[in-house]
């Protein structure tokens, strides 16, 4: 894959420094050097020790990635919401894990995306998962289609410039919910479980923000944004304030609304596209099982 930039500063700069500023890491430079890539200035091959001058054209060719041979393809179709040459956003259904585990090597979104890449004959077939979702959480998942795109999006994530918002149906003491509020309780693992989490003073700092969208006597629809990324954070935080997610049996949620999974859906992804320089806002409506819960 080919990338080009015009150097538009008056002061000289080492090419290696300039490339690092573009998000090209030392490991990616090594890959370019030893795996068939190319770096040139004004059409002439150069090393990273070259010193740039005003209006030099910098060109980098990053070699293709091939595939993860151990990742099995799954022929189940994927629901594509957005795609360009750098990123893929899919709508994850309920009951599907994001990535394989030791005893579940197939059937995940990563397996399905691999088959899609193969069917499209894409030159880069390594699966780069940028944002994950729990098995029973539905909605938008972001994949990078090559390693450089993944590195650039990781940089955006670390800087807090990727917004991911959820819709959740909660029950029980919904009169406690404010029009907008924040839940700020540390979260830790329950000592007797490898899965369950709880709030506790000795836990990790955790912050969840929400906006009340609709409320009835004992149910509510809320929009949620995470400001930290703890395991089960939304589920634990709403249970802690007496409003567990409907269908979330692990955390005491109501099981009488026709849902047997936590009512949680990632409905909004917003991020600055590092290659097209656009701000993308992607939305996905709630799945039928959540829409069928009467509010």
Q: What is the pLDDT of residues 31-86, one digit of tens each?
A: 999 999 999 999 999 999 999 999 999 999 999 998 777 899 999 999 999 999 99
Whether residue 237 is contained in a domain is answered as yes
Q: Please say which residue of 44, 61, 78 terminates a domain.
A: 61
Same domain, yes or no: 106 and 26: no
Pairing of strands 180-184, 207-215: antiparallel
* 188, 193, 196, 199 alpha-carbon torsion, rounded to 10°: -30
Same domain, yes or no: 230 and 260: yes
Same domain, yes or no: 76 and 110: yes
Whether residue 70 is contained in a domain is answered as yes
pLDDT of residue 68: 77
Confidence grade of residue 269 (pLDDT, cut at 50, 70, 90) = very high
Confidence grade of residue 160 (pLDDT, cut at 50, 70, 90) = confident
Same domain, yes or no: 232 and 191: yes
134 is catalytic: yes
SS3 188: strand
Same domain, yes or no: 192 and 247: yes
When the pLDDT of each residue in the chain is averaged and rounded to a whole number, the result is 95
% of the chain surpassing 70 pLDDT: 100
Same domain, yes or no: 57 and 29: yes
Q: Please say which residue of 32, 61, 90 terminates a domain.
A: 61
Whether residue 22 is contained in a domain is answered as yes
Whether residue 16 is contained in a domain is answered as yes
pLDDT of residue 84: 97
Domain total of the chain: 3
Is 46 in contact with 33 (CB distance < 8 Å)?
A: no
pLDDT of residue 67: 79
Q: Please say which residue of 12, 32, 61 terminates a domain.
A: 61
pLDDT of residue 70: 86
Length of the chain: 295
Same domain, yes or no: 122 and 199: no
Same domain, yes or no: 22 and 55: yes
Domain assignment of residue 138, given as a range: 64-159
Whether residue 295 is contained in a domain is answered as no
In this predicted model, what pLDDT tens digit does every residue of 127-157 receive, in sequence order? 999 999 999 999 999 999 999 999 999 999 9
Residues 6+ apart with CB under 8 A from 222: 167, 168, 170, 177, 210, 211, 212, 213, 238
Same domain, yes or no: 174 and 131: no
Identified catalytic residue from 64, 79, 84, 134:
134
Scan for tokens 């490991």, then name that residue: 27
Same domain, yes or no: 113 and 28: no
Question: What is the CATH classification number for the domain harbouring 250?
Answer: 3.30.2350.10
Whether residue 289 is contained in a domain is answered as no
């Amino acid at each position: 894959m080919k990338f080009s930039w015009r150097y538009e500063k008056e002061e000289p700069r080492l090419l290696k420094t300039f490339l690092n500023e573009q998000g090209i890491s030392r490991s990616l430079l090594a890959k370019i050097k030893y795996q068939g890539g190319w770096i040139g200035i004004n059409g002439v091959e150069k090393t990273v020790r070259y010193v740039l001058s005003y209006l030099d054209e910098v060109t980098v060719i990053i070699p293709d990635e091939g595939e993860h041979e151990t990742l099995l393809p799954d022929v189940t179709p994927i629901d594509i919401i957005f795609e360009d040459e750098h990123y893929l956003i899919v709508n994850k259904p309920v009951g599907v894990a994001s990535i394989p585990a030791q005893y579940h090597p197939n059937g995940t979104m990563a397996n399905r995306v691999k088959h899609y890449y193969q069917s499209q004959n894409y030159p880069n077939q390594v699966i780069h998962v940028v944002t994950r979702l729990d098995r029973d959480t539905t909605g938008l998942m972001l994949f990078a289609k090559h390693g450089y795109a993944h590195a650039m999006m990781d940089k955006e994530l670390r800087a807090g410039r990727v917004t991911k918002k959820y819709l959740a149906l909660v029950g029980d003491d919904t009169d406690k919910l404010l029009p907008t509020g924040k839940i700020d309780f540390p979260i830790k693992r329950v000592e007797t479980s490898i899965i369950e989490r709880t709030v506790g003073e000795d836990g990790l700092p955790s912050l969840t923000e929400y906006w009340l969208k609709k409320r009835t006597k004992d149910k509510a629809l809320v929009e949620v944004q995470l400001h930290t990324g703890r395991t089960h954070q939304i589920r634990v935080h709403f249970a802690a304030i007496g409003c567990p997610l409907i269908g979330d049996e692990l955390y005491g949620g109501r099981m009488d609304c026709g849902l047997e999974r936590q009512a949680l859906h990632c409905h909004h992804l917003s991020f600055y596209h590092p290659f097209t320089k656009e701000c993308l806002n992607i939305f996905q409506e709630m799945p039928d099982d959540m829409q069928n819960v009467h509010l």
